[in-house]
Amino acid sequence: MQAKIGIIMGSDSDLPVMKEAAEILDHFKIEYELTVVSAHRTPKRLNDYAQTAAAKGLKVIIAGAGGAAHLPGMVAAVSNLPVIGVPIKTSKLSGLDSLYSIVQMPPGVPVATVAINGAQNAALLAVQILALNNQDLEQKQQEYRQEMEAKVLKTAAKLEE
């Protein structure tokens, strides 16, 4: 089946963070593709990826990057699909550089930014977007939230004992 979500990252060193997005999509049984696209080392690949994304059936692109972190913004400049940016924590500026580079986009080209290392939420946001036209997914999503709630309640109950 054709992937609906593209998960891309600037370097495979971002994989430990970004695979959490994949795990969420696995949980919701949403097809995705996952690969490395470097804005700075493979600018042509970035262009190709962004230009063909919609045509090949992608609905949302999740892009993680650290430091100068141009990947999400440049994909959003080329493609009209919703782009979700994941600022990767860096060893020098803790991901503040990644966050500012990704979130401070100029008027006209949005990137939906999540928390530093927030790949899980990037995937959940993609699920929310797909669920707008997929009742099944909307249902699963509600269950996911109920499970989260239940887990907190259980932890609370244990603490209160």
DSSP, collapsed to helix, strand or coil, labels residue 69 as: coil
CA atoms of 21 and 7, how far apart (whole Å):
8
Can residue 3 be called a binding residue for its own copies (CB under 8 A)? no
Of the residues 23, 26, 96, 136, which one makes contact with its own copies according to CB under 8 A = 96
Can residue 125 be called a binding residue for its own copies (CB under 8 A)? yes
Can residue 70 be called a binding residue for its own copies (CB under 8 A)? yes
Least Å distance, CB 2 to its own copies, is 15
Of the residues 16, 26, 100, 136, which one makes contact with its own copies according to CB under 8 A = 100
* 116 close to 89: Cβ distance less than 8 angstroms: yes
Of the residues 26, 27, 128, 136, which one makes contact with its own copies according to CB under 8 A = 128
Least Å distance, CB 56 to its own copies, is 13
Least Å distance, CB 126 to its own copies, is 9
28-67 binders of its own copies (CB under 8 A): 33-43, 45, 47, 59, 67
